[in-house]
A = this chain, B = another copy of it.
């Protein structure tokens, strides 16, 4: 299994990281996510890292990259399910997760995305999605 599946959930995309993100897998994931945002008109990306026990600067950079790329195609990124040990490691090593939001779990992450997308649509009446009440 050489690809991380990306699941479409309404206007958001969900990715669950279960394996170590080595180079090619991580680059493929970045590329696939951006393509998928374009294809599905997604407004947000949820990255579940509840199965991740060990975090390093590479993983931190990959997540930040995804957040930055998603931002360029007008999508927000939320990292969810972080284990306490991972949060401690991130702070102790001084590794920032730039450009992404975090939430406790998928449900809370989804709520966060909905609130962000809704707020943007309210303030931008020219947006394609304005008036779409399916959120």
Contacts and interface: CB of A to CB of B under 8 A. Distances in A.
Interface of A: 1, 3-5, 7-10, 14, 16, 18-20, 48, 50-53, 81, 105-107, 110
19 contacts: A1-B20, A1-B52, A3-B51, A4-B51, A5-B16, A5-B18, A5-B48, A5-B51, A5-B81, A7-B14, A7-B48, A7-B81, A7-B106, A8-B105, A9-B106, A10-B107, A14-B14, A16-B16, A16-B18
Please list the 10 inter-chain residue pairs (A to B) with the smallest Cβ-Cβ separation, ordered nearest first: A5-B51, A5-B50, A7-B106, A18-B18, A16-B16, A1-B51, A1-B18, A5-B16, A7-B48, A8-B107
Secondary structure class of chain A's binding surface, majority of residues: loop
Given A1-B52, A10-B107, A18-B18, 20 more contacts: A1-B18, A1-B19, A1-B20, A4-B51, A5-B48, A5-B50, A5-B51, A5-B81, A7-B48, A7-B50, A7-B106, A8-B106, A8-B107, A9-B9, A9-B106, A9-B110, A14-B14, A16-B16, A16-B18, A18-B19
